[in-house]
Amino acid sequence: MKEREQEQARLDRVMETITEQIHMLEKETIQRRKEVIDIRKHFWDDVKVNTDTFDDYLETIIGLRQQAQALSVSQSTHRHAFKKLSTLRRMQEVPYFGRIDFLEEGTSVAEQIYIGISTLMDGENILIYDWRAPISSVYYDYLLGPAEYMTPEGIVRGLLEKKWQYMIRGGVIEAMFDTSLTIGDEILQQVLGKNTDNYMHNIVASIQQEQNRIIRHDRGKLLIVQGAAGSGKTSAALQRVAYLLYKYRNMTSDQIILFSPNSMFNHYVSNVLPELGEENMQQVTFQEYLNHRLSSEFQIEGPYEQMEDVLTASDDAAEIRNASIRFKASARFFETIKAYSRSLQSAGMLFKDVVFRGKPIITAKQIEEKFYSDTSTRLPHRLEKLVEWLMKQVDEVEKWERTKPWVREEMELLSNEDCQKVYAHLQKKRGFEASFHAYEKALARLVVQRKMKPLRQWIRALRFIDMKGIYKQLFVHPMLIKQWMEGEVPKEWDDICRLTVNMLEEGKLCYEDATPYLFLQELIHGFQTNLSIKHVFVDEAQDYSPFQFEFLKRLFPSARMTVLGDFNQAIFVHASDMVDFHTLTNLYGSDQTEIITLTRSYRSTKPIIEFTRRLVPDGERIIAFERDGERPVLTLVGNHAELHRSIASKVEDLRKQYHTIAIICKSAAESTLAYESLRHLEGIKLMTSESTSYEQGVIVIPAYLAKGIEFDAVIIYNASAQVYGDERLRRLFYTACTRAMHYLHLYSVGEPSPFLHHAERN
């Protein structure tokens, strides 16, 4: 009891320090904000603008630079103070969560290290250490006894004498534990036992040793995290972002990018880094990137549309589509595209006519002849020369066009303002009264230049290259591709070629074609690499193809990469034959790659984990955290009317206990059917691939959209053999069931899925 009182007395002093610093920073932020506003308001008052002479001009530039620098310093100081103030306000809620007593080698007294979300100092004394500080790793990594941690100066060794965990609310210690575990079961049970809300939250108080390895990993180019559903992969990755921003002070959040599964997931995880006092990194889906690059040319199919097509197509059509996806997602097709692009050095490039006012001024044949008249340089360099040549041809055409009748008609439509500008320009340029003839020539030049401006932009953007035709060449004659690839084409190749050509001619691009098309375009145009990104995170990495990973590597050549996934949730066709991420070691080589496997699942109760792990091969490797709860329930119903009545009744019961209830369906089509039949339920929402935010309440959602998100209670809409009878749907079914944290209820219209035969046994 005495120790508890001492700890509370220390906490009281810490709370006083936090309060004092908050008051000081509140005054500082107000003052800094006033300074910024004042500088902006009077920015031009203190700058003498004079460009009469070079010295006057130089003085003006120096004055502008000084004012801009003063503004930048004030803004930066204000941002820093505001960020620190936000962190201190969060620390008022939970100032720290752990403590270690560490006796460093060569010293006689153990130092008490209190650990929280940020450092707190009182003068020169450190009251709280940031959870990312080197010494804090001892808290997560060691039991009592010998311990060490890495600093920039080298390894520090010593003895971990005590490890404490605290539960603090409102400045009061509610509980404290003296334990040799990394994180006491009591605290973790409480964290995991809570109902969810609209956002994922930080896990700094409950980081496990294996998660800490991910967070602080600092070797090689590629870190692969292969983890069971609910093992904390995404949480650890977000903490890793915060750790990198803490360790590498010169790295900013906009130099880190996260490729996430969908926009709803982005919203769900958007709170984690701000909770830790850091700005969110860039977040994008791979589909958004493809749309950014290609949507002006094509209607691009998305990954979920691809999945819907596979799920709802006839058997024959699905077989062709599956074969197309597998081949075009492969590393073999990646090498094929590279070989094809090399062959274009000598033949095969296709071009479009350069057209002005509806007539070709340079034909595709002329462009081709000019392009292949020089075979000494690489494609991108040759294209640069070709652009220069085309511009010169356009210059000649422009001179010729100025005398055409259409130009005089356009001249008559020019505004008075345009005419006055042209006349004033002539006067200034010639220094005397301009002649009428010179005036007319200048007006004609203006008219033709304006008309030709879009054409010049079109040429500079390399739009004269017929990229669609070049890509289509791979599929127009089915056997043509064999000269660029190793091995045999898929047996469905003729049908794949027909499908691809038809889509391209309709102005559509299948999802499996989008990355190969863009890669081929980049090889021809010259790669648009992003050198500013220093770290790439890929979540739900099993949804990405080997082709897409090769593309990302080339897109971000300066970046290190962290990929996270679970092949038991590999629901897309391209990954159906893969069981782990070992093929990715070829990206950077095994010496630059480390794989960390997480087998313990924390999301769900033990009964739910024991049920779901029987749904997948090797599921016995998944270890359940000891958290009790209700066993999953399977209810058989005779028809859909009975199904909807039962689900509606169950939802009303669950509302009394849980915040988030998900009715998970196989597809978007089934989700729409379920929603229409249950829309009488108050507040029920239908989530689609266009949904941008994750909300509490009752939602209806396709299984593939629920990936990466967790719900208090999950209802599987129809777990029947008719819906989930195909073995290819096993991983999709597993993904749906593993979204449940506390409660899982499965309904089946008629005979249940064969996946459940093994899972239901005791």
Q: First and final CA of the chain: distance in angstroms?
A: 45
DSSP for residue 108:
S
Same domain, 32 and 120: yes
d(CA 15, CA 372): 75
Domain count, the chain: 4
Percentage of the residues of the chain whose pLDDT score is greater than 90: 50
Question: What is the rounded average pLDDT of the residues 41-62?
Answer: 61
pLDDT band at 273 (very low <50, low <70, confident <90, very high): confident
- Tokens 């897409």 appear where? 548
d(CA 732, CA 735): 5
Per-residue pLDDT, 276? 73
Higher pLDDT pick, 190 / 363: 363
We report the CATH number of the domain holding residue 550 as 3.40.50.300
Per-residue pLDDT, 594? 93
User: pLDDT per residue over 485-500, tens digit each?
Assistant: 988 899 999 999 999 9
Same domain, 174 and 288: no
User: pLDDT per residue over 407-463, tens digit each?
Assistant: 877 777 777 777 777 767 766 665 555 566 677 777 888 888 888 899 999 999 999
Per-residue pLDDT, 675? 96
Which of 461, 491, 508 represents a domain boundary (last residue)?
461
Listed range (349-353, 390-394, 436-440, 685-689) with the worst mean pLDDT: 436-440
Number of C-beta neighbours around residue 482 at 10 A:
13
Element (H, E) at 311: helix 303-312
> Residue 707: is its pLDDT beyond 50?
yes
> Residue 69: is its pLDDT beyond 80?
no
Question: What is the rounded average pLDDT of the residues 302-313?
Answer: 86
Same domain, 291 and 396: no
Query: Do 610 and 591 contact (CB within 8 A), yes or no?
Result: no
Binding-site residue positions for ATP: 227-234
Per-residue pLDDT, 434? 57
pLDDT band at 191 (very low <50, low <70, confident <90, very high): low
pLDDT band at 54 (very low <50, low <70, confident <90, very high): low
Same domain, 134 and 256: no
Per-residue pLDDT, 525? 93
Give the β-pairing of 145-151 and 740-749: unpaired
Binding-site residue positions: 227-234
User: pLDDT per residue over 527-536, tens digit each?
Assistant: 888 999 999 9
Q: How many residues does the chain have?
A: 762
Per-residue pLDDT, 272? 78
Close Cβ partners of 81 (under 8 Å, ≥ 6 residues apart): 25, 28, 29, 32
Q: Which domain holds residue 394?
A: 354-461
> Residue 721: is its pLDDT beyond 90?
yes
Question: What is the rounded average pLDDT of the residues 619-626?
Answer: 88
Percentage of the residues of the chain whose pLDDT score is greater than 70: 87
Close Cβ partners of 83 (under 8 Å, ≥ 6 residues apart): 277
Number of C-beta neighbours around residue 19 at 10 A:
13
Residue 187 φ/ψ, nearest 5 degrees: -70, -45
Number of C-beta neighbours around residue 532 at 10 A:
12
> Residue 51: is its pLDDT beyond 90?
no
117 lies in a domain? Answer: yes
Residue 644 φ/ψ, nearest 5 degrees: -70, -35
Same domain, 166 and 210: no
Same domain, 743 and 637: yes
311 lies in a domain? Answer: no
DSSP for residue 301:
P
Nearest Cα neighbor of 739 from 675, 692, 694, 690 is: 694
Residue 631 φ/ψ, nearest 5 degrees: -75, 145
Same domain, 112 and 165: yes
pLDDT band at 749 (very low <50, low <70, confident <90, very high): very high
Per-residue pLDDT, 41? 64
Residue ranges of alpha helices (H) inside 402-528 are: 405-412, 416-430, 436-460, 467-476, 493-505, 511-525
Pull the structure tokens for residue 550. Answer: 């090769």
Q: Dihedral, CA atoms, 52, 54, 59, 63, nearest 10 degrees?
A: 80
Per-residue pLDDT, 681? 94
Considering Cα of 697, then 701, then 703, then 706, what sign does the dihedral take? negative
276 lies in a domain? Answer: yes
Per-residue pLDDT, 642? 97
326 lies in a domain? Answer: no
Same domain, 44 and 82: yes
Same domain, 78 and 185: yes
Per-residue pLDDT, 71? 60
Per-residue pLDDT, 728? 84
Same domain, 113 and 149: yes
d(CA 174, CA 123): 28
Higher pLDDT pick, 55 / 33: 33
Question: What is the rounded average pLDDT of the residues 627-632?
Answer: 91
Which of 398, 433, 461 represents a domain boundary (last residue)?
461
Which of 157-171, 267-281, 643-657 has maximum average pLDDT? 643-657
- Tokens 């203190």 appear where? 46
- What is the rounded average pLDDT for all residues in the chain? 86
Which of 461, 496, 513 represents a domain boundary (last residue)?
461
Question: What is the rounded average pLDDT of the residues 718-734?
Answer: 92
